[in-house]
Amino acid sequence: MNKSELEYKNYSLSSLNDWISDSLNSEATPEEIYETIINCVERDLEYHEACAKQAKELLSLLKGHKTPDFDDKITFSTPYKDDVINFPRRY
């Protein structure tokens, strides 16, 4: 791991520590903190799974194995109303 990667990792973990500490010192309940962390991980997992599927489909198109369908859409939403990810429906 180079110096830049280590600095970013340390910054990210330090920020996580600060956010957890801030949450614990707020009016949030332990259950709300837990649910927020779970929702964050699930949202990121859903996003990256959709990105991987899209990359696989692009690779298939580039290799001439599939015909594209550009008209279908679907929305993945999280418990936060302002946090919506839009992807083609095939995902």
pTM above threshold 0.85? no
Q: Which residue has the higher pLDDT, 26 or 56?
A: 26
Domain, as residue range, for 10? 3-87
C-alpha dihedral (27, 31, 33, 39), degrees to nearest 10: -140
Q: Are 50 and 74 in contact (CB under 8 A)?
A: no
The Cα–Cα gap between 46 and 84 comes to 12
Show the tokens assigned to 52: 């991987």
Cα 17 off chain centre by: 20
- Count of the separate structural domains present in the chain: 1
pLDDT in tens, 58-85: 898 899 887 766 655 555 555 555 555 6
